[in-house]
Structure 1
Amino acid sequence: MTCTLTTDNLLTLANIITTSNIPHHHPPSLGVFTSVQVTMLYLQGNLRQQTLAGIFGTSQPTISRAINTVLNILDVVLPPPPRPKDLRPQRLCVLDGTLVPCWWWKNARNLYSGKHHKAGHNLQVLTDQAGEIFYISPPLPGSTHDITAIRNTGLFGHMQPWHITADKGYVGLGCARLLREDLGNPY
C-alpha cells in the first residue's frame, strides 16, 4: 500500500501545519513545505536521513529536526485513526493483513514472519471494494497470524463477519472467501 506524493498532498500537509496555531520550529534552511516533503519521503521510501541530507543539500541533524517537527505537529492536529466501533457495521468490506518491514533485532524475535521471511509488524487493513481504507489495526509482531491479529482488534464485536470478504488466512471467522481468481490472479 502506497500513496502518491503529489504537490497537492504536500501543500495540504504544509497548510495544516502552518494554520495549526502550534509553534513549528522547522529548520529555516528547509522551510515548512520542504520539511513535509522530507518527512513523507522518509516515511514512504524508508530513506536514511543521511541520504535525504545529500538529496536536499543539508546536514543529517537538520533532516532529523525537520522530520521530528513535522511528525510531532501532525500527531497533534490530525484526527485519530478510526477504531472498530467507529465503522459502519452494514458496509461491505475487504480484509487483509500485511507485513510492514522493520529492522529485526535479536532481542525481538517475535517480529520475524516465517511466511514473509522478514521482520516487521502485522497490520490488518479493512477497505471497501474500491480500495478506500477504512481501518488499519494497531501493529502486532510480524509473527502474529492474521486470524489472531484480527481477533485482537475487536473488529468482529462491531461488524458482522459475513459483511467482510477475506482470504483463506481468516477461515473460521465466517467471512466471505476471497479467491485468487477474484483478484485476476490465475495462480
Structure 2
Amino acid sequence: MPTTSVRPGPVHLVYLRKHDTLEQIAASFGISTATAWRYVNHTIEQLAIHAPSLTEALTSHHADGYLLLDGTVAESDRVAAAGHYCGKVHREGMNLQVITAEDGKLLWISPALPAGTHAVTAARKHAIVNTCAQQDLEVLADKGYVVPTAL
C-alpha cells in the first residue's frame, strides 16, 4: 500500500463537518477514495466505542421531566442499496432514532438501520420502549410510534 502524508484527522473532520462525498474528499487530499473511506470508517468505529449504551444514556439523565423520541432519515450516498430507500422522504439513507431531554439536550442516537424501517419497528429493535419503562421514564413520541390495536 502506498504511503501518504495525509493523516486521518483532517479527512474525517471534513467528512463529518462538510458532508462532502468521499470522492470529493479524496480529490481534495490527493488520496484514493478507498483510503478516504478507511480513514472515515476508522474514526466512526472509534467514536462508536466511546458512545454510551441506551441504558447508560438514560440513567445519566435526571428523570425530572419527560424524554422525547423521534426518528429521522439521514441521507446517504448509497446507490440503490436494498431497504435503504425511504418512500416517506423519497431518498436513500439510514433510519436513526433520537432521544432528547425535554430541554432538547441530546441523550442518545441509535445505531443506524435501513431508511425503509418504520419508526415503531426501529424502536422495538433498539428496545427503546422497554428500556425507558424499566427506568420509569415518561417518553413522548409522534403517532409513528403508536401500535394500532384491534377492535
| TM-score (norm. length: structure 2) | 0.71
Which one of 94, 116, 141 corresponds to residue 166 of structure 1? Answer: 141
Select the structure with the greater relative contact order (CA < 8 A; seq sep ≥ 6).
2
- Which stretches in structure 2 are left out of the alignment for 5+ residues? none
Please state if 1:136 is matched with 2:109: yes
Larger Rg: 1
Q: Number of residues paired by the alignment? A: 140
- CA 1:90/1:152 → structure 2, altered by over 3 Å: closer, same or farther? farther
Query: RMSD in angstroms over aligned alpha carbons?
Result: 3.1
More divergent stretch after superposition (135-144 vs 76-85)? 76-85
Which one of 137, 150, 156 corresponds to residue 123 of structure 2? Answer: 150
Counterpart in the other structure of 1:111: 84
Structure with the larger strand share:
2
Q: Distance in 1 between matches of 2:81 and 2:12?
A: 28
Counterpart in the other structure of 2:30: 59
| TM-score (norm. length: structure 1) | 0.60
Letter in 2 for 1:143: G
- Which stretches in structure 1 are left out of the alignment for 5+ residues? 1-25, 174-187
Using the TM superposition, give the Cα deviation of residue 129 of structure 1 relative to its aligned residue in structure 2, in angstroms.
2.1
Identical counterparts, % of pairs: 29
